[in-house]
A = this chain, B = another copy of it.
């Protein structure tokens, strides 16, 4: 690059960053409008709100010059938008407009869909509401960065496509076929995703390893109807008891998962990564202390960081059977059920894990009991080639914005789309997000830091610029 062109580019970036600084208020208002839409994808009652959310995005993107449309799927629709007028390497930004359910509602200290600002004791500001962090806030920091580039320069630094999904929180079964069907349209040189955490409130991070997920629901059926436990107690099979045994047997006494072949494809953490992670100064006491805990509860002999980043897990996300209301009811239910998820690492195969779980259940079914299974999405774990120059450019951009070296870390939560982008489109993904561990995503009182929102926009403005070089 010539010295002149370099100066010109720098000047343009500074103008874009300044534009973001002076237009924070309207950006916040747009986010609030988006947060008011109750796009809970897992509950069919909110289907119309999910579509409304997609339509809001398409309209907003069209207003800043994207060729944007709501695209139907058998489930909630996608939003696809393109602005590919620039030269240089192309990027596909992926985000999701759907949010988690809000129960238990009584634990929120405000209406989860009436977003609000609040000031913390340290003087910093937070944005409160369901989806403020996961993923509406994080989607908007990217879109606002694009808006600023367009406002200041009339164009984007590189060709950009945007894909927003409406089923990330509910299995996302329609994404892989959509990607395959529209591979030619969606393929780009690099993927960009903003659905992850910073290392801490001051340290930007790129996640280069992500756990996969295998979600499964099991129903244990016994008698043809609910029974009185006085008349039938012990003589009749109790699905609660059968299910408790099945769930208890998922782990051995050392906290290891007992499913057959579960640890196939799970190597010890490569020494280089272990050394890297050791430098992070991760404090398990602080990590657990924030949620009222003190002792890592997983596999014995593993560090808490391994447990959440590089080891697979089995968690019972929900279970229920019989009478759960006020008071007592001496009933033996006809059915009991559980929602179980497995976090997968390295080369674990979600389909083999699902099969092993079903085998585990069937092996523990006593006479007269029947198991029924329901699949809730799956995604392999993923690792990105951090030697690719795009990763170095993005890291430098983040370092410049935050004034502190950005780090390559891993992620405990799966983002199945990363594996799907790799499989369907052959793309690697830069996962740079500005959420924080205390954002309470999926929980009551979700929030997004004002700093994450502001510097997140600036970070994406810088990354778009860096990728153009």
Query: Chain A residues in contact with chain B, CB under 8 A?
Result: 41-44, 100-101, 103-104, 107, 169-171, 197, 211, 213, 215, 217, 222-238, 240-241, 243-245, 247-251, 255, 284, 287-288, 291-299, 304, 307-308, 311, 313, 315-333, 336-339, 341, 343, 366-368, 376-377, 411-414, 437, 440-444
In contact, B244 and A244 (Cβ under 8 angstroms): yes
In contact, A232 and B412 (Cβ under 8 angstroms): yes
In contact, B440 and A240 (Cβ under 8 angstroms): no
- Contact among B228, B291, B441 with A413 in the assembled complex (CB-CB below 8 Å): B228
In contact, A376 and B43 (Cβ under 8 angstroms): no
CB neighbours (8 Å) of A101 from chain B are 323, 325, 327, 329
Q: Nearest B residue to A45 by beta-carbon distance?
A: B326
What are 21 pairs between A and B in contact, CB < 8 Å? A42-B328, A101-B329, A107-B225, A222-B292, A223-B292, A224-B292, A226-B442, A227-B291, A228-B413, A228-B442, A232-B308, A234-B296, A235-B288, A235-B304, A241-B315, A293-B368, A316-B322, A318-B322, A318-B323, A318-B331, A320-B324
Tell me how many chains of this kind the complex includes: 2
CB neighbours (8 Å) of A197 from chain B are 231
Q: How far is the CA of A437 from the CA of B235 in the complex (A)?
A: 14
In contact, A230 and B319 (Cβ under 8 angstroms): no
Q: Nearest B residue to A368 by beta-carbon distance?
A: B293
Distance to closest chain B CB from A138 (angstroms): 14
Q: How far is the CA of A320 from the CA of B322 in the complex (A)?
A: 9
- Contact among B44, B231, B291 with A308 in the assembled complex (CB-CB below 8 Å): B231
- Contact among B330, B336, B376 with A213 in the assembled complex (CB-CB below 8 Å): B330
Distance to closest chain B CB from A2 (angstroms): 46
In contact, A326 and B240 (Cβ under 8 angstroms): no
CB neighbours (8 Å) of A217 from chain B are 328
Q: Provided the pairs A248-B248, A249-B248 are in contact, do residues A235 and B328 lie with their beta carbons within 8 angstroms? A: no
- Contact among B107, B225, B316, B323 with A240 in the assembled complex (CB-CB below 8 Å): B316
Which of A43, A234, A287 has the most chain B CB within a 10 Å cutoff? A234
Q: How far is the CA of A341 from the CA of B327 in the complex (A)?
A: 13
Distance to closest chain B CB from A425 (angstroms): 23
In contact, A295 and B367 (Cβ under 8 angstroms): yes
In contact, A225 and B331 (Cβ under 8 angstroms): no
Q: How far is the CA of A238 from the CA of B241 in the complex (A)?
A: 19
CB neighbours (8 Å) of A232 from chain B are 291, 308, 412
In contact, A328 and B215 (Cβ under 8 angstroms): yes
Q: Provided the pairs A248-B249, A313-B233 are in contact, do residues A367 and B331 lie with their beta carbons within 8 angstroms? A: no
In contact, A234 and B298 (Cβ under 8 angstroms): yes
